[in-house]
Chain A
Amino acid sequence: MNTVIRNGRVIDPANKRDEVGDLFIVDGKIAAKGNDKDAEVIDANGLVVAPGLIDLHVHLREPGFGWKETIESGARAAAAGGFTTIVCMPNTSPVADSPGTIGWIRDRAAEVACVNVLPSGAISKGLMGEELAPIGSLKQAGVVAITDDGRCVQNNELMRRAVEYARMVGVPVLDHCQDYNLVGNGVVHEGYWSTLLGLPGWPRIGEEVIVMRNILLADCCDHHVHCQHLSAAGSVRLLREARARGVKISGEVCPHHIALTDDAIQNFDTNFKMNPPVRAKEDVAALLEGIADGTIEILGSDHAPHAQFEKEVEFDAAPFGIVGLETEVGLFLDLLVHKNRTIELPRLIEMFTVNPARLLRIDAGTLSVGQAGDITLIDPDLEWTVDASKFQSMSRNTPFDGWKLKGRAVRTIVGGKTVWAL
């Protein structure tokens, strides 16, 4: 079965293409030509035709936490959010720190997932931050990155060796930046609202100190370290300076860190509890500035599903995190392209496609002839209302229920096959 996508605005940042035209998929791959005979014809008039979007920061919860999300439901949520490729984090049970677990995830994904699921592996055994996981074997088993996400290696010597070793193996290191001593039992941004509400503060410096550490290690080891879910103004400044010097360091921003500020926590709603926490106006401004000037070149969701009964507890007892896959594209389009005019649409697509693909060294994120037919159709001006009860994800822990957004993905095509359509 072949596919022809007619009359869309084809945006392919890797090939510097932005024009109204047709796109052909033949035998599941992007082709230079095709015809309507025996083909599914999709009218993309008024829509953007983009390379399939990539989210490099997703928690699929399997193995071990299938009541929050499964590989199958998480992949459906990704498809509904416009993603054709997602990278799942290793903080499962068991932890994805062995080739066996990586193999299980890949087998399971091949069986049930409607999008491409790429596993990441742990940096340290059991995410304990004490000894290296078998990074070479993990790479051979198919991981695209290593990370202790959810945790952060505190031992700088171990982290240095991990970065050195990862360079040899050829996988990027992703890091959740959190200094445990500085953060302590912090649950919300340390500032006015934490002071007012008496909630333990999670200070900016708890992130910035590790961003600085990672810059030094990336420089010292000449290898790529990517700082996940950045939240603090100082992190952006550190990154900007280091990148100007050519250090192999990058950062990612999640929608909630630009959509929300810490005043959102005043009703103790645990759907506003995430790690790192939502911060102050000046942090949002700095993140937007970093996105505008290219300091930040990758976007992610940190999709973190939790069941209602887990989230519906005392604020400081609740798990961190929110679901994000199904609101991510809408929020970024609405906030970055429409409301704040931080960037234009082609750059947003670049941040979701070729940029993460380069970091992960995967053959994806472009519309080059011969590539897998992974395509996302986007209606950048569609106005819609978030309805958590309709999520494909098994979990509903979102602070954005009821938000009115402009722009969303309307069709997701993986290997030439439509896996989701609005």
Chain B
Amino acid sequence: MSSEIRWQRKDLLGIRELSAEEITFLLDTADAFKDVGTREIKKVPALRGKTLVNFFVEPSTRTRTSFEIAAIRLSADVINISASSSSLIKGETLKDTAKILEAYHADLIVIRHGSSGAPQFLAQRLKSSIINAGDGAHEHPTQALLDLYTIRSRKGAIAGLHVVIIGDILFSRVARSNIFALLKLGAHVTLVGPSTLVPREFEKLGVTVSHKLDEALETADVVNLLRIQHERQRKEYFPGIGEYIRLFGLTKERGRRLKPDCLIMHPGPINRGVEIDSELADGPQSVILEQVTNGLAVRMAVLYLCGGIATP
């Protein structure tokens, strides 16, 4: 771990504002935490005495659980607040709820929210560390970090790789955070999906936009499949699941186009048989469960660094 690079941020709001060095430093720090989960005593004292609030205004099981386990392994005390148990449904504003969390002296607040910019809103107003666990269609920085961590651990480096992200890009915070992180570390990124869900505007970010999946798959080093929302919620955007599978589903037949060492990733939860064929999801190229495990190490690193504790 480089000693010159210091982590200066109390908050992790998104990937866009991070430098390549900061991203690498986070991934290196995650390396140091990777083993904790395999030890007999799955716990280090890094955040002992700190209070972490998992503030999930939008429902989530996977990410919330991951943050909770990560925090517990760092010896933090964890409180979970969900939308249904918070006063937000009684009409309390986000600001007031947040001020109350601060009055409890929460050291870290992990927020998941349906509105883009909600973590920024908290960070501008609170002294607590704010960790973005997904805001609207904006960013999901820890997902991107765990994706990069997984790619790096399998491929050795990010630079020069061709990463193909497939699906509903327009409404995906996972896609945005991945795009920012991958480009910063020198990968080539291709976005594939229906033109309605992958607008050309994305090209201005420095990625390739394609609507031809078969071509993109042939040169891919990594394919990252995004969950496709049910057609009821996106009825103006694509005609239906059947046509989606025909044009953009990673079917077994299409899977044969992949290079043998191409990684298959998915942030979950998977719609088996929609964005990906079930056999491929469970096959040898799939690193979907590794992503989940790596998520713990990455989130430990994020909580540890933003929590402001010295190097372990």
Interface residues in chain A, defined as those with a beta carbon under 8 Å from any beta carbon in chain B: 191-192, 195-200, 267-268, 309, 312-317
Q: Are B95 and A313 in contact (CB under 8 A)?
A: yes
A-B contact pairs, 8 of them (CB 8 A): A195-B199, A198-B137, A312-B93, A312-B95, A314-B94, A314-B121, A315-B115, A315-B121
Interface centre among A191, A192, A197, A314 (most CB of B within 10 A): A314
Within 8 A of A (CB), among B129-179: 135-139, 171, 173, 176
Q: Are B136 and A309 in contact (CB under 8 A)?
A: no
Residues of B within 8 A of A316 (CB): 115-116, 136
Q: Are A195 and B202 in contact (CB under 8 A)?
A: yes
Does B227 count as interface, using CB distance less than 8 angstroms?
A: no
Query: In the complex, A345 Cα to B121 Cα: how many Å?
Result: 41
Which residue of B is nearest A195, CB measured? B201
Which residue of A is nearest B136, CB measured? A198
Q: Are A195 and B117 in contact (CB under 8 A)?
A: no
Query: In the complex, A199 Cα to B115 Cα: how many Å?
Result: 8
Query: In the complex, A199 Cα to B16 Cα: how many Å?
Result: 15
B62 CB to nearest A CB, Å: 20
Does B118 count as interface, using CB distance less than 8 angstroms?
A: yes
Query: In the complex, A309 Cα to B118 Cα: how many Å?
Result: 15
Query: In the complex, A314 Cα to B176 Cα: how many Å?
Result: 20
B139 CB to nearest A CB, Å: 7
Q: Contacts A267-B120, A309-B93: A196 and B205 contacting too (C-beta < 8 A)? A: yes
Known contacts A313-B94, A314-B115, A315-B121, then 4 further A-B pairs from the complex at CB < 8 Å, ordered by chain A residue: A198-B173, A313-B121, A315-B117, A316-B115
Q: What 0/1 readout, one digit per residue, does chain B (110-123) give for beta carbons within 8 Å of chain A?
A: 00010111101100
Does B246 count as interface, using CB distance less than 8 angstroms?
A: no
Q: Are B138 and A198 in contact (CB under 8 A)?
A: yes
Residues of A within 8 A of B135 (CB): 198
Q: Are B115 and A317 in contact (CB under 8 A)?
A: yes
Q: Are A268 and B95 in contact (CB under 8 A)?
A: no
A368 CB to nearest B CB, Å: 52
Classify chain B: how many residues form its interface, as a range: 20 to 34
Does B6 count as interface, using CB distance less than 8 angstroms?
A: no
Which residue of B is nearest A184, CB measured? B236
Residues of B within 8 A of A199 (CB): 116-117, 136-138
Which residue of A is nearest B138, CB measured? A198
Residues of B within 8 A of A195 (CB): 199, 201-202, 204-205
A129 CB to nearest B CB, Å: 21
CB < 8 Å neighbour of B116 from A192, A198, A309, A312: A198
B109 CB to nearest A CB, Å: 15
Which residue of B is nearest A187, CB measured? B116
A93 CB to nearest B CB, Å: 18
Q: Are B117 and A268 in contact (CB under 8 A)?
A: yes
Query: In the complex, A319 Cα to B285 Cα: how many Å?
Result: 48
Residues of B within 8 A of A317 (CB): 115
CB < 8 Å neighbour of A191 from B115, B118, B201: B201
B232 CB to nearest A CB, Å: 16
Which residue of B is nearest A267, CB measured? B120
CB < 8 Å neighbour of B176 from A192, A198, A312, A313: A198
Q: Contacts A198-B136, A313-B93, A314-B94: A192 and B115 contacting too (C-beta < 8 A)? A: no
Residues of B within 8 A of A309 (CB): 93
CB < 8 Å neighbour of A198 from B139, B201, B204: B139
Which residue of B is nearest A194, CB measured? B201
Which residue of A is nearest B172, CB measured? A198
Query: In the complex, A313 Cα to B117 Cα: how many Å?
Result: 10
Residues of B within 8 A of A198 (CB): 116, 135-139, 171, 173, 176
B121 CB to nearest A CB, Å: 6
Residues of B within 8 A of A313 (CB): 93-95, 121
Query: In the complex, A123 Cα to B71 Cα: how many Å?
Result: 57
CB < 8 Å neighbour of B204 from A192, A197, A200, A267: A192
CB < 8 Å neighbour of A314 from B118, B201, B202: B118
Residues of B within 8 A of A192 (CB): 201, 204
Which residue of B is nearest A317, CB measured? B115
Q: Are B201 and A268 in contact (CB under 8 A)?
A: no
Query: In the complex, A413 Cα to B136 Cα: how many Å?
Result: 50
Query: In the complex, A314 Cα to B94 Cα: how many Å?
Result: 7
Q: Are B117 and A314 in contact (CB under 8 A)?
A: yes
Residues of A within 8 A of B113 (CB): 314
Residues of B within 8 A of A267 (CB): 120
- Top 10 nearest A-B pairs (CB, nearest first) are A198-B137, A268-B117, A314-B115, A198-B138, A195-B201, A198-B116, A315-B117, A316-B115, A199-B116, A268-B120
Residues of A within 8 A of B201 (CB): 191-192, 195
CB < 8 Å neighbour of A268 from B121, B137, B176, B199: B121
A97 CB to nearest B CB, Å: 28
Query: In the complex, A309 Cα to B136 Cα: how many Å?
Result: 22
Interface centre among B94, B116, B136, B137 (most CB of A within 10 A): B116
